[in-house]
Structure 1
Amino acid sequence: MELEKVLAITGQPGLYSLKLQTRTGFVAESLVDGKKINVGMRNNVSLLSEISMYTHTEEKPLAEVMRAIAKKENNGPAISHKEDSNKLMAYFKEVLPDYDEDRVYASDIKKVLNWYNLLQAKGMVSSEAPKGKGEKAEAAETAEGEAPAEKKPAKKAKKE
């Protein structure tokens, strides 16, 4: 799930994809209707990749929460964000059993489910974890489980 270029813009409905940086801000394209808008530096913008949910033990990245929803729903749509707050909280408890009920509000759950359903409709949600830098490093380990030796910088040639 690639959330690095997906934005939530305060005062704008839905989610946006970062398209182009300009001198005064950037251009974003709506994932709902495809319209492009100019976003200035004064707008409050959040990258979905930087958002986390509170749990009793740690903060869980939004991508992991969305993967948990996708796993529960077999990569299909989740329940509507317009459901009753009690029903949404019970659903979220199934997805993320250790979420902190004191710091995660029903409005937060509604927003996450709305975003999930929007991204799922665009085919941007998967229950599979992306192969990242950490997994490449693990694959590079030797059969004994040791990390490969560090490469030393090449020696500079002497001038004659």
Structure 2
Amino acid sequence: MNLDKILAISGKPGLYVLKMQTRTGFVAESLTDGKKITVNLKSNVSLLSEISIYTYEGEKPLTEVMQRIATKENKGQAMSHKEDNTALAGYFKEILHEYDEERVYPSDIKKVLNWYNTLQSKGLVTDEAPAAASTSEEIVAEEPAKKAPAKKAKAKKEE
């Protein structure tokens, strides 16, 4: 499952796919309705590939947690994120028995299940392993565009 271009944008419902970088931010397309939006670089944006879940031994990448859900559900839909907190915690315990119950809140479990079900409904739950190099490229793509001209200016002064 490749989550390298999948974004969660604070204040915006659902998930988005990173389409391209612009001078002032980037363009993302909603997975729910297909509408494209421009996102400012100051917006709080999370790449799903960079998110981890707390466990007693450390942290587990979200990609691995979603793979476990896909395996359990045979790549089908997971439990609805609208179930009660006790049922959600029990389900999540089956998926990731070592998750830290004090640091992983029911709201976090709801997000993970909602995100998984969204990705599954769009056919993005696959056996494809993420490419390690593309994650760093995506982070670079989100850096402000004004850094590049500053380097050119320094090079001119040295000449």
- Compute the TM-score of the two structures, normalised by the length of structure 1: 0.80
Q: Which structure 1 residue ranges, 4+ long, deviate > 2 Å from structure 2? A: none
Q: Quote the sequence identity (%).
A: 67
- Equivalent runs, 1:1-160 vs 2, <5 Å: 1-126=1-126, 128=127, 130=129
Equivalenced residues, count = 132
> Which structure is higher in RCO with an 8 Å CA cutoff and minimum separation 6?
2
Rounded to whole Å, the distance in 1 between the matches of 2:69 and 2:9 is 23
Once the 2 structures are TM-superposed, how far is the Cα of residue 131 of structure 1 from its aligned partner? 7.3
Rounded to whole Å, the distance in 1 between the matches of 2:88 and 2:49 is 23
Gapped regions of structure 2 (runs ≥ 5): 133-159
- Compute the TM-score of the two structures, normalised by the length of structure 2: 0.80
Q: What residue number does 1:152 align with?
A: none
Gapped regions of structure 1 (runs ≥ 5): 134-160
* CA root-mean-square deviation: 1.2
Once the 2 structures are TM-superposed, how far is the Cα of residue 31 of structure 1 from its aligned partner? 0.3
SS at match of 1:91: helix
SS at match of 1:37: strand
Rounded to whole Å, the distance in 2 between the matches of 1:129 and 1:96 is 21
> 1 or 2, which has the higher helix percentage?
2
Q: Specify whether residues 46 and 131 from structure 1 end up closer, same or farther in structure 2 by C-alpha distance, changes over 3 A only.
A: closer
